Each structure stands twice: as structure tokens, then as C-alpha cells.
Amino acid sequence: MPPKITNPVIWQRAELLMQPAFIRVVDNLRKHLDTSSWTGTYQDILIWPPSTTDRTKALVTQLLQEMENATSEQADEIRETLSRLPMPHPGYHLNLQRQGQQVSIDLWELCYQVCFLDYSPENEIVSIDTSLIDEFGEVDWLRLEEKTKQLVKQVFANLPED
């Protein structure tokens, strides 16, 4: 789950860092895949809140599909119903395969690890890694690249052995 950010300053800094972090994560993963025995495919997924039942997922999916052809009055009713139901957020995974082994890597989780200090999915309170922002309030691309390289290197180092 993405971290919940309520502080406007932290939100602004997160917005500044997330897209560059995502770009650096994808590029560094590609560089590792080029020299690795693992092959990778990217996949868009929906990530549901943990307690969401299969029945609720099916209902939300059905309502979203009905919304596409609904009249404006029906769409208002559907939006009202959806406002009371858990909604998924988009995710993006890299699925790695090698000799029957499979590993899925959540790219947004990697980005959160880049952008935040000591990020953990269990910890909703996050702190921006301010070392990634220079004295002018801009992205420090060298530090961002170095941190991203280290995290991606760790991902590949932690993959199962042959």
C-alpha cells in the first residue's frame, strides 16, 4: 500500500521525487536484466486494501464496468455506491523468471524505498530522504541514481540462487 502522506511539505517533496525515482528504478532494473540470467516482464496490476473480499472486488469491478455505459443519473448512483466501497490503486510489477523460478517485484515499493527514509510497507508514517533534494529544492540526480543503484543491486543479490 502506498504511504499515507498528510503533511503538505512531505507531499510536495514526494511528488518531486517519485517520477524521477520511478524512471531511475526502471532503468537500473533494465541494466541488471541485460547482464542477468533472469528474464523480466512488466505487468499492470490492481492492489486492493488487505481486508477486501473476493465478493467486494467483483462488485467494484462490475460497478466500474457498468459506469462506462451508464446515464448520468445512473453514474451518480454508482459513484455513491463506490464511495462506500474499498477501491484498488494501480500497481506495476516486474515479474522475473529463470529455470522455473519466479519472483515478482513491486516497482512502486522500490520507489518508496528510494524516496523515503527507512521505508517499510507496514509503516504508514514516512519521512522524505532529503539528501535526494539539493539546496535549490531540486532533485539531486547523482544521489538519486546512487541510492537507486544500491537498492536494485540488493534486489538482484537477494534473488534465489540456482
> What total number of domains does the chain contain?
1
Q: In the prediction, which pLDDT does 1 show?
A: 61
Q: In the prediction, which pLDDT does 83 show?
A: 93
Say if 114 falls within a structural domain: yes
pTM, entire model: 0.77
Say if 48 falls within a structural domain: no
Q: In the prediction, which pLDDT does 106 show?
A: 92
- The residues with which 152 forms a beta bridge, in sequence order, are none
| Consecutive 10-residue averages of pLDDT for the chain (162 residues) | 76 90 96 93 88 93 92 93 90 93 93 90 83 95 97 94 72
Say if 123 falls within a structural domain: yes
Say if 63 falls within a structural domain: no
Say if 124 falls within a structural domain: yes
CA distance 92 to 84: 25
Q: In the prediction, which pLDDT does 70 show?
A: 92
**How are strands ordered across the β-sheet holding 89-98?**
39-47, 89-98, 101-106
Q: In the prediction, which pLDDT does 147 show?
A: 97
Q: In the prediction, which pLDDT does 162 show?
A: 64
